Structure 1
Protein backbone atom coordinates (compact mmCIF):
# COMPACT_ATOMS: atom_id res chain seq x y z
CA UNK A 1 0.00 0.00 0.00
CA UNK A 2 2.88 2.34 0.74
CA UNK A 3 4.16 2.12 -2.83
CA UNK A 4 0.68 2.87 -4.20
CA UNK A 5 0.34 5.83 -1.83
CA UNK A 6 3.66 7.20 -3.07
CA UNK A 7 2.56 6.77 -6.70
CA UNK A 8 -0.60 8.73 -5.91
CA UNK A 9 1.50 11.44 -4.23
CA UNK A 10 3.59 11.66 -7.39
CA UNK A 11 0.47 12.00 -9.54
CA UNK A 12 -1.05 14.65 -7.25
CA UNK A 13 2.28 16.54 -7.22
CA UNK A 14 2.43 16.47 -11.03
CA UNK A 15 -1.16 17.75 -11.21
CA UNK A 16 -0.23 20.66 -8.95
CA UNK A 17 2.85 21.45 -11.01
CA UNK A 18 0.51 21.57 -14.01
CA UNK A 19 -1.87 23.86 -12.09
CA UNK A 20 1.09 26.09 -11.21
CA UNK A 21 2.11 26.33 -14.85
CA UNK A 22 -1.43 26.92 -16.05
CA UNK A 23 -2.21 29.64 -13.51
CA UNK A 24 1.17 31.38 -13.44
CA UNK A 25 2.35 31.16 -17.03
CA UNK A 26 -0.57 30.22 -19.29
CA UNK A 27 -3.50 32.05 -17.70
CA UNK A 28 -4.26 34.23 -20.70
CA UNK A 29 -3.62 31.48 -23.27
CA UNK A 30 -4.15 27.77 -22.44
CA UNK A 31 -6.19 28.41 -19.28
CA UNK A 32 -9.00 29.85 -21.41
CA UNK A 33 -9.60 26.34 -22.78
CA UNK A 34 -9.56 24.77 -19.32
CA UNK A 35 -11.69 27.37 -17.53
CA UNK A 36 -14.37 27.76 -20.19
CA UNK A 37 -16.99 28.93 -17.69
CA UNK A 38 -14.95 32.09 -16.99
CA UNK A 39 -15.77 34.86 -19.46
CA UNK A 40 -12.82 35.52 -21.76
CA UNK A 41 -12.63 39.22 -20.90
CA UNK A 42 -11.78 38.35 -17.26
CA UNK A 43 -8.55 36.46 -17.92
CA UNK A 44 -6.31 39.50 -18.35
CA UNK A 45 -7.63 41.39 -15.29
CA UNK A 46 -7.34 38.28 -13.09
CA UNK A 47 -3.85 37.31 -14.26
CA UNK A 48 -2.18 38.35 -10.98
CA UNK A 49 -4.77 36.57 -8.86
CA UNK A 50 -4.35 33.39 -10.89
CA UNK A 51 -0.56 33.60 -10.57
CA UNK A 52 -0.90 33.85 -6.80
CA UNK A 53 -3.14 30.78 -6.80
CA UNK A 54 -0.61 28.97 -9.00
CA UNK A 55 2.14 29.76 -6.52
CA UNK A 56 0.14 28.09 -3.75
CA UNK A 57 -0.31 25.03 -5.97
CA UNK A 58 3.45 25.01 -6.38
CA UNK A 59 3.91 24.96 -2.62
CA UNK A 60 1.55 21.98 -2.39
CA UNK A 61 3.55 20.18 -5.09
CA UNK A 62 6.82 20.98 -3.30
CA UNK A 63 5.48 19.56 -0.03
CA UNK A 64 4.27 16.41 -1.73
CA UNK A 65 7.61 15.91 -3.49
CA UNK A 66 9.42 16.57 -0.21
CA UNK A 67 7.38 13.82 1.44
CA UNK A 68 8.74 11.38 -1.14
CA UNK A 69 12.40 12.12 -0.41
CA UNK A 70 12.38 12.25 3.41
CA UNK A 71 14.63 9.39 4.53
CA UNK A 72 12.59 8.48 7.62
CA UNK A 73 9.57 6.35 6.55
CA UNK A 74 7.39 7.51 9.45
CA UNK A 75 7.96 11.19 8.64
CA UNK A 76 7.39 10.47 4.95
CA UNK A 77 3.91 9.27 5.86
CA UNK A 78 3.18 12.16 8.25
CA UNK A 79 4.30 14.82 5.79
CA UNK A 80 2.52 13.06 2.92
CA UNK A 81 -0.69 12.89 4.95
CA UNK A 82 -0.42 16.58 5.85
CA UNK A 83 0.01 17.75 2.26
CA UNK A 84 -2.60 15.34 0.91
CA UNK A 85 -4.93 16.73 3.59
CA UNK A 86 -4.19 20.28 2.42
CA UNK A 87 -4.94 19.28 -1.18
CA UNK A 88 -8.16 17.58 -0.08
CA UNK A 89 -9.37 20.66 1.81
CA UNK A 90 -8.50 22.90 -1.13
CA UNK A 91 -10.30 20.54 -3.52
CA UNK A 92 -13.42 20.38 -1.36
CA UNK A 93 -13.47 24.16 -0.98
CA UNK A 94 -12.98 24.59 -4.74
CA UNK A 95 -15.79 22.15 -5.47
CA UNK A 96 -18.11 23.98 -3.07
CA UNK A 97 -17.29 27.47 -4.35
CA UNK A 98 -16.18 27.19 -7.96
CA UNK A 99 -16.81 23.92 -9.81
CA UNK A 100 -17.84 20.42 -8.78
CA UNK A 101 -15.22 19.07 -11.21
CA UNK A 102 -12.48 20.27 -8.83
CA UNK A 103 -13.47 17.56 -6.37
CA UNK A 104 -12.81 14.83 -8.94
CA UNK A 105 -9.59 16.32 -10.29
CA UNK A 106 -8.03 17.53 -7.05
CA UNK A 107 -9.64 16.19 -3.87
CA UNK A 108 -10.44 12.63 -4.94
CA UNK A 109 -6.86 11.62 -5.86
CA UNK A 110 -5.63 13.11 -2.57
CA UNK A 111 -8.31 11.22 -0.64
CA UNK A 112 -7.23 8.00 -2.33
CA UNK A 113 -3.64 8.70 -1.25
CA UNK A 114 -4.78 9.34 2.33
CA UNK A 115 -6.79 6.12 2.32
CA UNK A 116 -3.80 4.14 1.05
CA UNK A 117 -1.56 5.60 3.77
CA UNK A 118 -4.13 4.79 6.45
CA UNK A 119 -4.50 1.23 5.16
CA UNK A 120 -0.69 0.91 5.31
CA UNK A 121 -0.61 2.24 8.86
CA UNK A 122 -3.40 0.10 10.26
CA UNK A 123 -2.88 -3.22 8.46
Structure 2
Protein backbone atom coordinates (compact mmCIF):
# COMPACT_ATOMS: atom_id res chain seq x y z
CA UNK A 1 0.00 0.00 0.00
CA UNK A 2 2.87 2.36 0.83
CA UNK A 3 4.42 1.80 -2.60
CA UNK A 4 1.12 2.61 -4.31
CA UNK A 5 0.79 5.78 -2.21
CA UNK A 6 4.29 6.81 -3.26
CA UNK A 7 3.57 6.10 -6.93
CA UNK A 8 0.40 8.20 -6.92
CA UNK A 9 2.15 10.97 -4.96
CA UNK A 10 4.94 10.89 -7.55
CA UNK A 11 2.30 11.20 -10.27
CA UNK A 12 0.88 14.28 -8.50
CA UNK A 13 4.38 15.77 -8.32
CA UNK A 14 4.93 15.11 -12.04
CA UNK A 15 1.60 16.76 -12.91
CA UNK A 16 2.71 19.84 -11.02
CA UNK A 17 6.16 19.91 -12.56
CA UNK A 18 4.39 20.00 -15.91
CA UNK A 19 2.07 22.76 -14.68
CA UNK A 20 5.06 24.78 -13.41
CA UNK A 21 6.71 24.48 -16.82
CA UNK A 22 3.49 25.44 -18.65
CA UNK A 23 2.99 28.50 -16.48
CA UNK A 24 6.60 29.69 -16.64
CA UNK A 25 9.19 28.67 -19.23
CA UNK A 26 6.75 27.13 -21.74
CA UNK A 27 4.00 29.72 -21.35
CA UNK A 28 4.58 31.49 -24.67
CA UNK A 29 4.53 28.25 -26.63
CA UNK A 30 2.85 25.18 -25.19
CA UNK A 31 1.31 26.89 -22.15
CA UNK A 32 -0.66 29.42 -24.15
CA UNK A 33 -2.13 26.61 -26.26
CA UNK A 34 -2.96 24.37 -23.28
CA UNK A 35 -4.71 27.24 -21.49
CA UNK A 36 -6.50 28.27 -24.69
CA UNK A 37 -5.22 31.85 -24.69
CA UNK A 38 -4.89 34.14 -27.64
CA UNK A 39 -1.62 36.03 -28.06
CA UNK A 40 -3.30 39.18 -26.79
CA UNK A 41 -4.75 37.51 -23.70
CA UNK A 42 -1.42 35.78 -23.01
CA UNK A 43 0.31 39.16 -22.94
CA UNK A 44 -2.14 40.34 -20.28
CA UNK A 45 -1.88 37.29 -17.99
CA UNK A 46 1.79 36.31 -18.51
CA UNK A 47 3.10 37.78 -15.24
CA UNK A 48 0.27 36.33 -13.19
CA UNK A 49 0.74 32.90 -14.74
CA UNK A 50 4.44 33.01 -13.98
CA UNK A 51 3.66 33.88 -10.36
CA UNK A 52 1.14 31.02 -10.24
CA UNK A 53 3.83 28.72 -11.64
CA UNK A 54 6.10 29.74 -8.79
CA UNK A 55 3.44 28.71 -6.26
CA UNK A 56 2.95 25.39 -8.02
CA UNK A 57 6.70 24.93 -7.72
CA UNK A 58 6.35 25.17 -3.94
CA UNK A 59 3.78 22.37 -4.03
CA UNK A 60 6.28 20.23 -5.93
CA UNK A 61 8.98 21.14 -3.41
CA UNK A 62 6.83 19.95 -0.50
CA UNK A 63 6.21 16.61 -2.23
CA UNK A 64 9.89 16.19 -3.11
CA UNK A 65 10.92 16.89 0.47
CA UNK A 66 8.33 14.32 1.51
CA UNK A 67 10.09 11.73 -0.62
CA UNK A 68 13.64 12.75 0.22
CA UNK A 69 13.61 13.60 3.92
CA UNK A 70 15.63 11.04 5.91
CA UNK A 71 13.17 11.14 8.83
CA UNK A 72 10.04 9.27 7.71
CA UNK A 73 7.77 11.17 10.12
CA UNK A 74 8.95 14.54 8.81
CA UNK A 75 8.76 13.24 5.23
CA UNK A 76 5.22 12.06 5.80
CA UNK A 77 4.24 15.46 7.21
CA UNK A 78 5.60 17.20 4.10
CA UNK A 79 3.78 14.72 1.86
CA UNK A 80 0.45 15.24 3.64
CA UNK A 81 0.93 19.01 3.66
CA UNK A 82 1.82 19.08 -0.05
CA UNK A 83 -1.07 16.84 -1.06
CA UNK A 84 -3.56 18.83 1.04
CA UNK A 85 -2.33 22.05 -0.59
CA UNK A 86 -2.68 20.51 -4.04
CA UNK A 87 -6.22 19.31 -3.24
CA UNK A 88 -7.32 22.69 -1.86
CA UNK A 89 -5.76 24.58 -4.79
CA UNK A 90 -7.48 22.16 -7.16
CA UNK A 91 -10.89 22.74 -5.54
CA UNK A 92 -10.36 26.49 -5.74
CA UNK A 93 -9.28 26.25 -9.37
CA UNK A 94 -12.24 24.01 -10.16
CA UNK A 95 -14.64 26.52 -8.65
CA UNK A 96 -13.07 29.67 -10.06
CA UNK A 97 -11.34 28.74 -13.32
CA UNK A 98 -12.33 25.44 -14.91
CA UNK A 99 -14.13 22.38 -13.54
CA UNK A 100 -11.68 19.97 -15.19
CA UNK A 101 -9.07 21.10 -12.64
CA UNK A 102 -10.99 19.00 -10.11
CA UNK A 103 -10.15 15.89 -12.13
CA UNK A 104 -6.65 16.87 -13.16
CA UNK A 105 -5.39 18.21 -9.83
CA UNK A 106 -7.75 17.47 -6.94
CA UNK A 107 -8.70 13.86 -7.62
CA UNK A 108 -5.12 12.50 -7.86
CA UNK A 109 -4.14 14.39 -4.68
CA UNK A 110 -7.13 13.04 -2.75
CA UNK A 111 -6.42 9.50 -3.96
CA UNK A 112 -2.77 9.86 -2.91
CA UNK A 113 -3.84 11.16 0.51
CA UNK A 114 -6.26 8.28 0.98
CA UNK A 115 -3.56 5.78 0.03
CA UNK A 116 -1.05 7.49 2.30
CA UNK A 117 -3.41 7.32 5.28
CA UNK A 118 -4.40 3.74 4.47
CA UNK A 119 -0.74 2.74 4.36
CA UNK A 120 -0.08 4.52 7.67
CA UNK A 121 -2.96 2.70 9.34
CA UNK A 122 -1.53 -0.71 8.52
TM-score range, shorter chain: over 0.9
Aligned to 1:9: 9
> Which portions of structure 1, spanning 4 or more consecutive aligned residues, are displaced by more than 6 angstroms?
none
Secondary structure of 2:24's partner?
helix
Aligned match of 1:90: 89
Aligned residues: 122
What residue in structure 2 maps to residue 52 of structure 1? 51
Are positions 1:34 and 2:34 aligned together?
Answer: yes
Q: Which range moved further: 90-99 or 67-76?
A: 67-76
Per the alignment, residue 63 of structure 2 pairs with 64
TM-score (norm 1): 0.92
Unaligned runs of 5+ in 2: none
- Matched with 2:23 is 23
TM-score, scaled relative to structure 2:
0.93
**Which residue is 1:121 aligned to?**
120
| C-alpha RMSD of the superposition | 1.2
Q: Which has the higher helix share?
A: 2
Matched, 1:43 2:19: no
Secondary structure (helix, strand or coil) at the match of 1:29 reads: helix
Q: CA deviation at 1:39?
A: 4.4
- Partner in structure 2 of residue 101 of structure 1: 100
For structure 1, the 5+ residue unaligned runs are: none
